Amino acid sequence: MARPARDETAARALRPRIRPGKITKIEDSKVGQLLTLLDHSGVPQQLEAMLQGRPGPAGVRPRTVLAGLLLAACFTGKATVAEAWRILHFRLEPRARTWLGIPHEPPATARESIAASRRLYRGFDRITTLLDPARCNRRSRLPLDIADAYADAWKVPSGKQAAERLQHLANQLVLSPVRLAQQRGYLRGWRGDVGVDATAIPVLADPDRERAGTASVEITAGWHHSAGADEGTFGYSASFVVAAHRRPAGEGTGKPLAYPQLCVGLVLDTPTVRTGRNAVTALTQLAELGLPAGTCAADRAYTGCAPENFQIPVRRLGYRLALDYKTENRGKQGSWRGALLVDGSLACPHMPTALAQAAQGAKDETVRIPSEELQQAVEERVPYFLKTKQSPDARGAIRLQCPAAGPSPSVNCARRDGLRPRKPRSPKPPPTVVNLADNRSRAAHPAARPTVQLPADEWLTLPPAEELPAVCGKSDITVPANAYGDRLVAKFRQDDHYLTAAWTASYKPIRSHNEGIHGRLKSGEIDIGNPKHRPAPGQVAQTLLVAILVTAGNLDILETWLYQRTGTHLTATDYTAAPTPRGPHTVRTESTGRPPPLPD
């Protein structure tokens, strides 16, 4: 029986609207490529395995829901269920509809459109309900005490485990284009340098209303304060890990080969919560791909983390650290086995006080554009820093030695010569004639090296080796990643000397790559900073939608890079190269959906 006309009119007002004149068909080849990439990420298979046995109607499969959202992100720049519905039911060819289980004919009436859209919404709702440790009403404000109870559910062990599973699944989506680029050899020129930074992800919901006693719809959101910004942004923080490279610091270092500067890690969380751990989560998942580990540059938000949450695990993953410091943390920072910790580097215990305190209390403006006096002091204190005797091992421990030791000492020290006098050569070599026109010959002469000023009573009587600091009495010292509980050394130590040319060549270019990926993903068609492009509420929904948008952004970066380098595009063979990942959260089960065949 035909429904009354007024009911049909009401249905048309409720359903997602179709924009006349903009229903263009999407080629089967592009749908097949994106669906193959999605299948190789392993996320649809894991979601369908976890949904087995749950009550309620099955609805639309997770594979179809995620494919619709990814298609919407690639072709419209929005990760909304409404755009996914329009694409799945009105813009696909019959062959692609078969791959996704979509009816061959689009909805003919308004009520059929409503039914199709609601099935898709239910399919997305099943995914978010599955991954949410404390599902609640996301459409109305809750009282503050009730909302706090739901928010606390994320902090208990079961909630942390659910959050880790969510972050792992989202990062698998982001890494799928990275795995594709790795398999095709496009990352051969990348040396493993990464930049870690957090950016604000605003939401449509308003913050809590203290006077009314009601919480925000986004119960786990908070205020993200960017560096230098007076006002915060209400929403979430997204920790990005971006592929970057250092700038050549000297002659002969070589220019890095070209590679696509992709986002190689993403974790979305409440602002100021688990800042360091979220970066480690992304770096750990990146390490599973077997890519090289270079320098990891991070701003002061990560320097301020507890060392067991960021610095120690990052070193154990094989990364070198390039850090910046707050004003109150510059200068002398601590000591280890008698060696001074000066601006993140261990130095001779008798480094001149003026050099050790050259950056003491320096403002940020002074550090960004150092004065000539500061630059000169930074260069003059380099010879006093300990020298690397052995690079970090698998546990992140490094061996350092006195700057006056070894075949190429950088300072003269009477204490070192008294404890371990250098054996004269036999027969005695003739006096060396120094070529004053040769910079290298002049620098190698002992007279050109600074001399360590020892205490006055030590020039006549040298104390026993056991009474001296370990850095002086032993041939070398070992500095483990955790520094045996010395939090200052574990927290502030870095591998390049602060404010030197080597540090500048590492820190500043990598940090600029972070800002570049933020600008690229927060502008243009794909704008993750626009909450209208991902309106679904809740941390689970926001995490998945941001991950889908970043995945689409990574594909755009890879396509653009390949076209600029070779004038070609990614083909179906490229998309079938990446294998399905296997990780700690991977559910090993038979695939519930066959990937589409290669387009003809």
Tell me if 356 is assigned to some domain: no
pLDDT digits (tens, 9 = 90+) for 439-482: 666 666 777 789 999 888 787 788 887 888 888 888 899 999 98
- Does any domain span residue 160? no
The answer as to whether 560 is a domain residue is no
Using only C-alpha atoms, the chain has a radius of gyration, in whole angstroms, of: 29
Q: Is residue 104 part of a domain?
A: yes
pLDDT digits (tens, 9 = 90+) for 215-261: 999 999 999 988 767 789 999 999 999 999 998 765 445 666 789 99
pLDDT at 591: 37
pLDDT value of residue 435: 66
Q: How far apart are CA 49 and CA 123, in angstroms?
A: 14
113 lies in which domain range?
Answer: 7-131+570-600
Whether residue 36 lies inside any domain: the answer is yes
Distances (CA, A) of 256 to 73, 164, 199, 301: 32, 35, 27, 28
Per DSSP (E only), the strands in 259-405 are 263-269, 295-298, 320-322, 332-336, 339-342, 345-347, 387-390, 398-401
DSSP SS3 for 76: helix
Q: What is the pLDDT of residue 79?
A: 96
Sequence-distant (≥ 6) Cβ neighbours of residue 427 within 8 angstroms: none
Q: Residue 297 and residue 134: Cα distance in Å, rounded?
A: 35
| C-alpha–C-alpha distance, residues 470 and 451, integer Å | 20
Distance of CA 186 to the CA centre of its chain: 20
The DSSP bridge pattern shows strands 295-298 and 193-202 to be parallel
Amino acid (1-letter code) at residue 287: A
Residue-wise pLDDT for 37-95, tens only, equals 999 999 999 999 999 888 877 779 999 999 999 999 999 999 999 999 999 999 999 99
Q: Is the pTM of this model over 0.75?
A: yes
Instruction: Identify the residue with better confidence: 137 or 63.
Output: 63
Q: Is the peptide bond before 595 cis (omega within 30 degrees of 0)?
A: no
Give the per-residue pLDDT at 568: 77
* CA–CA dist 490, 586 (Å, integer): 33
Over the chain, what is the mean pLDDT?
87
Question: Around 192, how many Cα atoms within 13 Å sit in the side-chain half-sphere?
Answer: 15
Model confidence at 5, pLDDT cuts 50, 70, 90, reads low
Whether the pLDDT of residue 418 is over 90: the answer is no
Indicate left, alpha or beta for 563 from its phi (over 0: left) and psi (-120 to 50: alpha).
alpha
423 pLDDT band, cuts 50/70/90, is low
Q: How far apart are CA 99 and CA 290, in angstroms?
A: 32
* pLDDT of 219: 93
Beta carbons within 8 Å of 71's beta carbon, 6+ residues apart: 26, 31, 34, 84, 87, 88
Neighbours of 9 (CB within 10 A): 10
Which residue do the tokens 């078969």 mark?
98
pLDDT for 252 equals 44
Instruction: Give dist(CA 198, CA 175) in Å, integer.
Output: 18
Mean pLDDT lowest among 178-192, 262-276, 482-496, 573-587: 573-587
CA angle 163, 164, 166 (to 5 degrees): 65
- pLDDT tens column, 251-304: 445 666 789 999 999 999 999 999 999 999 999 999 999 999 999 999 999 999
Of all residues in the chain, the percent with pLDDT exceeding 90 is 64
Q: What mean pLDDT comes out for the span 112-141?
A: 90
Categorize the per-residue pLDDT at 407 as very low, low, confident or very high, splitting at 50, 70 and 90.
confident
Q: What is the pLDDT of residue 425?
A: 57
Confidence at residue 303, expressed as pLDDT on a 0 to 100 scale? 94
- Write out the two tokens for 360: 């003491």
* Total number of residues shown for the chain: 600
| Res. 427: pLDDT tops 70 | no
Q: Does residue 271 lie within any of the structural domains?
A: no
Asked if the model's pLDDT at residue 530 lies above 90, the reply is: yes
Buried b (16+ CB within 10 A) or exposed e, 189-223: ebbbbbbbbbbbbebebeebeeeeebbbbbbbbbe
pLDDT at 426: 58
The answer, yes or no, to whether residue 396 has pLDDT greater than 50, is: yes
Beta-sheet pairing, 332-336 with 339-342:
antiparallel
Say if 75 falls within a structural domain.
Answer: yes
What is the number of domains present in the chain? 1
Residue 324 CA to residue 330 CA, distance in Å, equals: 9
Q: Is 254 part of a structural domain of the chain? A: no
Q: Give the pLDDT score at 429.
A: 62
Sequence-distant (6+) residues with CB within 8 A of 345 are 385, 386, 493, 494, 497, 498
Q: Which residues contact 587 (CB under 8 A, 6 or more apart)?
A: 45, 46, 49, 50
The C-alpha atoms of residue 561 and residue 568 are separated, in whole angstroms, by: 10
- Lookup: tokens for 207: 């913050």
> pLDDT at residue 129 above 70?
yes
Cβ proximity of 587 and 46 under 8 Å:
yes
